[in-house]
Chains A and B, each alone.
Chain A
């Protein structure tokens, strides 16, 4: 694409381009391909092999032999179905909330502040600012804010909204809140970049053609921002499905909020049940691939690009 565009003014350059492109492109791709082969493909194959391993006859904990134990998958599902379902419902809920919060922010920065470079720059900095601090620290800060003797909990108790033994940490609310908080920038930035390119004359044309502001938004602004909404939701949904920090007991979660990531972590690092942990990881990966491709196809992004 880029080569064709660059060669547009010189026709002979276009003719030469394909051969040159081939060789140069291969050369440039090589490091990336090698990296992926080494650090993605190898662990991936190893993960699948591990997920099919069977316990060593010696009975030593954490020792497994190569095998073809499909039963690992059946066991993982039967044992951890609630956590699997919770992962995807938390991811779905958090993605929807993050979208509802991020879209107005992105719209304001991209459209309302379009001709105010200073305001726009400041607002974008504010959106990105949380990245300046480690995600672990920020999540830990929320743990402090929501902790049982925090002023928030105490105030809620004072007003009688909370009972004497009510708490926030460890609830679904705390986990979803933390997930939404951590992923808002990932939702806001792609939507912003879509809306930033929105031609406002199209919005004017909508108004000119008798569409009221709500209809103009529904039929013109939103459809044209869909590529950003889709990348934003993917960038939010996928990492949240596998997140194990926010829902862990060390941060905002509790025994009742464990997600797949927490289960995988526990199986790998504590129980040392590597086959089950691997089977869960493979299933998580497969489920995300299936969900995401169905979503992308349904939303018809290729139509917009």
Chain B
């Protein structure tokens, strides 16, 4: 078996991938291209098909339809052990009957790489676990096991490293620390990383590109800043961070601006930030871009104003306060205000108006679930 192992990462291409299980479709017509050396995150709720996608790339499942190309080579029919891909499994899957060192050397021994022990030791050095090389995996803590799993995969210098929610079992503090380490290692080794996660913060924090997956499809893909700033669908707007969403008929539309009439109010967004400018459209704004005022702000063409409403809930989260404002006939609006010492002091039950700047709004291509039939 002649397998060439890339010193550098290779690009990954999925062409028209579809995966059916008895009774349901896990992945539907997936097209995806990940350039070499990129840190790519596949983000989605559980059951969205992201882990199935990863398992197909690793060769542990075979797609019902479509092709998988690694470095331009079709590997769809290759067995997992023939693919230049390594996985960091969700539960780490370390071999309990081998020492940490033997776990890390396993892949090297299979490929008959010279001096596997020295290379395994170097990999353990990288994750700072050389002093535990002779231990058994079950004698290590969760964070240490995670690093062994990472070393075991990375030591093979795979063309593509797959990470299946590798930080899911760690506590918050350790998870943050491992995120930083993982990102640093990816930059250092220059390999292509495909990270599957349901943690949106983790995906945005680490990845160069994030693909948001829902019900077997990719909803939107792009740089984290771009995805967050301009979600295209209601799912992305709600899954990646929070959003206030308002649905109304388009009232005015020109080259620069689109306005909808929303229960007697006119809401405007820049035309280039609106996906659809006809019929019923959902507009959104991020809670941290939303402000509230104790008196009605002066109407202005670059400000959207709703209100007055009543503050029904205040949550202190440390760096910011989260306010729920109930506006009659409109519903709940969420506002985040940074605790920088100068936000208006308001109490539960206070009457406030909500506003956001026109350039911060966005228009979605679809309507939120449940809003389709409501006038």
Residues of A within 8 A of B (CB): 199, 201-202, 204-213, 215-216, 219-220, 223-224, 303-304
A215 to B111 CA separation, bound complex (whole angstroms):
12
Chain B residues within an 8 Å CB radius of A213: 81
Output the nearest chain A residue to B113 by Cβ-Cβ distance. Answer: A210
> Could you tell me if B93 and A204 are in contact, using CB atoms closer than 8 angstroms?
yes
Given A220-B95, A223-B97, A224-B96, A209-B89 contact (CB < 8 Å): no
Chain A residues within an 8 Å CB radius of B85: 208
Cβ of A129 to closest chain B Cβ, rounded Å: 31
Q: Would you call the interface of chain B mostly helix, strand, loop, or mixed?
A: loop
Q: Is the CB of B324 closer than 8 A to any CB of chain A?
A: no
> Could you tell me if A205 and B87 are in contact, using CB atoms closer than 8 angstroms?
yes
Q: Is the CB of B59 closer than 8 A to any CB of chain A?
A: yes
> Could you tell me if A208 and B87 are in contact, using CB atoms closer than 8 angstroms?
yes
Task: For A207, give its contact among B81, B94, B96 (CB under 8 Å).
Answer: B81
Chain B residues within an 8 Å CB radius of A219: 106
Q: Is the CB of B60 closer than 8 A to any CB of chain A?
A: yes
Given A210-B81, A304-B97, A204-B60 contact (CB < 8 Å): yes
Chain A residues within an 8 Å CB radius of B59: 207-208
> Could you tell me if B97 and A209 are in contact, using CB atoms closer than 8 angstroms?
no
Given A205-B89, A210-B81, A224-B156 contact (CB < 8 Å): no
> Could you tell me if B107 and A210 are in contact, using CB atoms closer than 8 angstroms?
yes
Q: Give the size category of B's interface with A.
A: 20 to 34
Given A201-B89, A215-B110, A208-B60 contact (CB < 8 Å): yes
Output the nearest chain A residue to B84 by Cβ-Cβ distance. Answer: A210
A208 to B94 CA separation, bound complex (whole angstroms):
12
> Could you tell me if A209 and B156 are in contact, using CB atoms closer than 8 angstroms?
yes
11 sampled A-B residue pairs with Cβ under 8 A: A204-B89, A205-B89, A206-B81, A208-B86, A209-B86, A209-B106, A209-B152, A210-B107, A210-B156, A224-B97, A304-B97
Q: Is the CB of B91 closer than 8 A to any CB of chain A?
A: yes
Given A201-B89, A201-B91, A215-B110, A207-B60 contact (CB < 8 Å): yes
Output the nearest chain A residue to B106 by Cβ-Cβ distance. Answer: A209
Q: Would you call the interface of chain A mostly helix, strand, loop, or mixed?
A: helix
Output the nearest chain B residue to A303 by Cβ-Cβ distance. Answer: B97
Chain B residues within an 8 Å CB radius of A209: 81, 86, 106-107, 110, 152, 156
Chain B residues within an 8 Å CB radius of A216: 81
A205 to B110 CA separation, bound complex (whole angstroms):
13
Output the nearest chain B residue to A226 by Cβ-Cβ distance. Answer: B97
Cβ of A200 to closest chain B Cβ, rounded Å: 10
Chain A residues within an 8 Å CB radius of B97: 223-224, 303-304
Q: Is the CB of B79 closer than 8 A to any CB of chain A?
A: yes
- Tell me which of B60, B80, B87, B96 has the highest count of chain A C-beta atoms within 10 A of its own C-beta: B80
Given A207-B79, A208-B85, A210-B81, A201-B110 contact (CB < 8 Å): no
A160 to B152 CA separation, bound complex (whole angstroms):
60
A154 to B79 CA separation, bound complex (whole angstroms):
50
Chain A residues within an 8 Å CB radius of B107: 209-210
Chain B residues within an 8 Å CB radius of A202: 93, 95-96
A224 to B94 CA separation, bound complex (whole angstroms):
12
Q: Is the CB of B206 closer than 8 A to any CB of chain A?
A: no
Cβ of B85 to closest chain A Cβ, rounded Å: 7
Q: Is the CB of B258 closer than 8 A to any CB of chain A?
A: no
Q: Is the CB of B58 closer than 8 A to any CB of chain A?
A: yes
Nearest 8 A/B pairs, CB to CB: A209-B107, A205-B93, A210-B110, A207-B80, A201-B93, A208-B87, A211-B110, A207-B81
A211 to B81 CA separation, bound complex (whole angstroms):
6
Interface residues of B in 79-121 (CB under 8 A from A): 79-81, 85-87, 89, 91, 93-97, 106-107, 110-111
Output the nearest chain B residue to A224 by Cβ-Cβ distance. Answer: B97
- Tell me which of B59, B85, B97, B156 has the highest count of chain A C-beta atoms within 10 A of its own C-beta: B97
Chain B residues within an 8 Å CB radius of A199: 93
> Could you tell me if A210 and B95 are in contact, using CB atoms closer than 8 angstroms?
no
A219 to B86 CA separation, bound complex (whole angstroms):
18
A219 to B95 CA separation, bound complex (whole angstroms):
10
Chain A residues within an 8 Å CB radius of B89: 201, 204-205, 208
> Could you tell me if A205 and B95 are in contact, using CB atoms closer than 8 angstroms?
yes
Chain A residues within an 8 Å CB radius of B80: 204, 207-208
Cβ of A52 to closest chain B Cβ, rounded Å: 46
A210 to B107 CA separation, bound complex (whole angstroms):
6
Chain A residues within an 8 Å CB radius of B3: 210
Supplied contacts A207-B79, A215-B110, 7 more A-B pairs, CB within 8 Å: A201-B89, A204-B60, A208-B85, A209-B86, A210-B81, A210-B110, A213-B81
Chain B residues within an 8 Å CB radius of A204: 60, 80, 89, 93
Chain A residues within an 8 Å CB radius of B111: 210
A207 to B79 CA separation, bound complex (whole angstroms):
8
A223 to B87 CA separation, bound complex (whole angstroms):
22
Output the nearest chain A residue to B152 by Cβ-Cβ distance. Answer: A209
A109 to B66 CA separation, bound complex (whole angstroms):
33
Chain A residues within an 8 Å CB radius of B60: 204, 207-208
Cβ of A299 to closest chain B Cβ, rounded Å: 12
- Tell me which of A199, A211, A224 has the highest count of chain B C-beta atoms within 10 A of its own C-beta: A211
Task: For A212, give its contact among B81, B95, B106 (CB under 8 Å).
Answer: B81
Output the nearest chain A residue to B107 by Cβ-Cβ distance. Answer: A209
Chain A residues within an 8 Å CB radius of B96: 202, 224
